[in-house]
Chains A and B, each alone.
Chain A
Amino acid sequence: MSRQSLTKAHAKISELTWEPTFATPATRFGTDYTFEKAPKKDPLKQIMRSYFPMEEEKDNRVYGAMDGAIRGNMFRQVQQRWLEWQKLFLSIIPFPEISAARAMPMAIDAVPNPEIHNGLAVQMIDEVRHSTIQMNLKKLYMNNYIDPAGFDMTEKAFANNYAGTIGRQFGEGFITGDAITAANIYLTVVAETAFTNTLFVAMPDEAAANGDYLLPTVFHSVQSDESRHISNGYSILLMALADERNRPLLERDLRYAWWNNHCVVDAAIGTFIEYGTKDRRKDRESYAEMWQRWIYDDYYRSYLIPLEKYGLTIPHDLVEEAWNRITNKGYVHEVARFFATGWPVNYWRIDTMTDTDFEWFEHKYPGWYSKYGKWWEEYNRLAYPGINKPIAFEDVGYQYPHRCWTCMVPALIREDMVVEKVDNQWRTYCSETCYWTDAVAFRGEYEGKDTPNMGRLTGFREWETLHHGKDLADIVTNLGYVRDDGQTLVGQPHLDLDPKKMWKLDDVRGNTFQSPNVLLNQMTESERNAHIAAYRAGATVPA
């Protein structure tokens, strides 16, 4: 289509909307934002006549690559260390994708300007594409990769696992609570605009270095739809900015959304990239270096900071603190160690680390060995069954952590843990901002104004509570993380597939699992104070 006829086509499609006079669309999902003064924006409309063939063409390339990968025996060169983590990642990500589709009518309902409705509805279809294309990729892995266990129970595992839940908030955050908080600020302005670069570009690029070129094929194809989504979100953001009354809400939501995305996405993707790779070239970018490029430069400096000219207060402090957590406080390394500690209740296997890995970590993160090296040596030492218990139940100088009530990643930077009684319960938080999110942001009132549409934190947020006081073998059985011999665990603390070296239920039986939060709430005040002080000081056993 020529530019002129494209312009005419856009104008014609705009004629399809009208001002209703008999009844207005039901407001299923409310917002405390107001758009009365929103300027008319006219983002480019997607013409379905070019949209469908364009996406079909992208699909053809993806499915062609899939056929090619199988004909070319890609799995002969795939690193198991890498693909195991895909059991976790690909169990999570189709839900946030489909949630993004479900979020679109929330944005359509909340923003009265019909100019942007078309783009949002097209995004809805994109997101159905993303979710199902990713489910299909996972199926291909299940069918063609040496160890299908974990892929085979993917959506169930996602729904009953502690790590699945961490990822689930990413999707639930898109579809619950204030429509603009969820479907615009959290989903588009932060998750899509900032973090899809690490999720869908940086991480899949690492897959290629580990012999898997399908992940990048699929996710680059997904990412190519993202610029349209980002501009949808930006249009709504500018409309919201037009009304002074939205200012405090925007600032609240940017703080919450930024921090929660950091906590969740950097935990997961950072771990996959740093601990899931076999590529230890010294000049390959570390997660911290990727983060600096994609998040700090491309997002923070080029997208967020320019919003200041509209008078918006940007959470500079939280961007700096996220960076600080990644570079100085060992955030990713702590998360990886936590995942590995919990291996019996994982549905993927986690490889041991070698001297090459140690060297690389020390090179990229000076001081790494003194903080984490010993623990990974213990992990190697305790990798096989028969002699010892799973590492979480051996004394290796590591105290099983408290979980953050808000982001559900544990309070791993121990000196930063916040403990408060909220809603009549002692809760732990990984950071001041996560405490604020629960105690201040997700409430029916904010800075003296009613915010009836704001969401609430709900559910059994501490996963360990559900399994408190039970035997580890029974927990694994109940979760269903047992292989088809009825004995061998899906999760393993090494990659050896020799059945004699794989842990069985009997090898983990006799260990009682305890919830740190249940115990915390049972303590007397002085016990609790002592416990918290010791935890913050880095105690290796619970005080």
Chain B
Amino acid sequence: MTATQETTATTEPKQRSFPKIEFTDSEAGAKEFPSSKSRTYSYYTPAKRRATMYEDVTVDVQPDPDRHLTQGWIYGFGDGPGGYPQEWTVAKSSNWHQFLDPNEEWDQTIFRNNSAVVHQVELCLSNAKRARAYDGWNTPWLKFIERNVGAWMHAENGLALHVFSSIQRSGPTNMINTAVAVNAAHKMRFAQDLALFNLDLSEADVSFDGSAHMEVWQDAPEWQPTREVVEQLTAVPDWCELLFATNIVFEQLVGSLFRTELVMQIAARNGDYITPTIVGTGEHDYDRDLNYTRTLFQLLTHDPDHGDANRALFGKWMTLWVPRCLAAARALQPIWSQPADKAVTFATSLDAATAKFTVLLESLGLDIPKELSL
């Protein structure tokens, strides 16, 4: 730069000066004039009578040529339009903007809720350490946690980075993408919590191999079909199929089967009050995440123009993903007999999971796949 000044630092003490603050009387209501009372966002219609904070900070932040965008997207991809094309899924909606996240996630809810979970988990883990809770665990249970909870955390992390993070670039509205981004945050936090729990255990005075989880996830036969489905999920290019296959099918038939129907049921019987607290946060997250997912797919299956086609489409998606997920679930069967106290059988757990899955599908107005009744 030819014009660079030598240095701005001078040796003589600088006279300090301050901006003058002035009384301007620029507060609301100081004058009456056209629009002086126009104090709501006027460019969208809120779902209820009054706009929520969530709507105000989310709706229309991602522009749309179908709404107010007049000059169109000003950058395109080498092989197609830019922005957020509706064609990035084969599912169709007569109005994608109708979806609002029932959890109303935005800045404050994200950090408040996740911090609350963090505090809860940390308290639980520090109490466990202080009370030397792990000392009382029997060897089969330690092994169970070491191998299976250890393997499962990979699935959570993979979904965070390569499923939910991915989807949130592709949805046609800000409301969809933000809900999915929060889902990714949940998964990442939960995966890490499981990993740090694993670290605590490997540092406790018990027999626990903190590195065993890698080999189990990569090679143990009972976990390979699960890893296979997770990897297959990450390879799905259609964002809506990916969300459906993950949150509707995989999470019900594999995720909840493992977390709710197995770990949550048997941990206490094996003297473990710690794991259910942590895994319970994952279940709590999934509950929230299922809530927005169900809302979205209900809109799609009940769409006035495309409902029938969408239901057929989701049926088709299930013919692919239900068998894959059931295969993964069934492969996990051996781990039900690993703990000393086998409080539930695999059959009972799978029945419970498929029953809940059936209820979910009914709530979406979808036919129950024949594989479920076998």
Contact = CB atoms under 8 A, between A and B. Distances in A.
Nearest to A73: B27
A12 B193 contact: no
Contact of B81 (A21, A120, A458): A458
Given A48-B188, A155-B41, A13 B75 contact: no
Interface in B270-298: none
Contacts of B42: 152-153, 156
Interface in A53-68: 53, 55-56, 59, 63
B157 A52 contact: no
Interface residues of A, number: 130
A72 to B, nearest CB: 11
B189 interface: yes
A319 interface: yes
A63 B108 CA distance: 9
B4 A292 contact: yes
B234 A26 contact: yes
A146 B214 CA distance: 61
B76 A456 contact: yes
B266 to A, nearest CB: 24
B374 interface: no
Interface stretch (B32-40, B133-141, B306-314): B32-40
Contacts of B237: 26, 28
A149 B81 CA distance: 34
B192 A172 contact: no
- Interface centre among A28, A106, A300, by most chain B C-beta atoms within 10 angstroms, is A28
B74 A129 contact: no
Contacts of A387: none
Contact of B73 (A451, A452, A459): A459
B3 interface: yes
A109 B166 contact: yes
A123 B82 CA distance: 22
A457 B82 CA distance: 10
A284 B16 CA distance: 10
A327 interface: yes
A259 B115 CA distance: 41
B154 A16 contact: yes
Interface in A460-507: 460-461, 463, 466, 483-485, 487-488, 490, 497-499, 502
B328 to A, nearest CB: 11
A75 B27 CA distance: 5
A441 interface: no
A117 B211 CA distance: 21
Contact of B82 (A24, A148, A176): A176
A490 B57 contact: no
Given A28-B237, A129-B110, A152-B42, A95 B68 contact: no
A40 interface: no
Contact of B181 (A79, A128, A154, A408): A128
A283 B153 CA distance: 57
B169 interface: yes
Contacts of A211: 21-22, 24
26 contacts: A12-B195, A16-B192, A22-B231, A25-B162, A25-B234, A26-B237, A49-B189, A53-B119, A59-B112, A78-B24, A98-B61, A118-B188, A125-B185, A133-B107, A135-B58, A135-B61, A136-B53, A142-B40, A152-B41, A153-B43, A169-B74, A211-B24, A327-B3, A454-B78, A455-B76, A490-B35
Interface of B: 1-5, 8, 14-15, 17, 19-31, 33-44, 53, 56-63, 67-79, 81-83, 106-108, 110-112, 114-115, 117-119, 121-122, 153-154, 157-158, 160-162, 165-166, 168-170, 174, 177-178, 181-182, 184-185, 188-189, 191-193, 195-196, 198-199, 210-211, 213-214, 217-218, 227-228, 231-232, 234-237
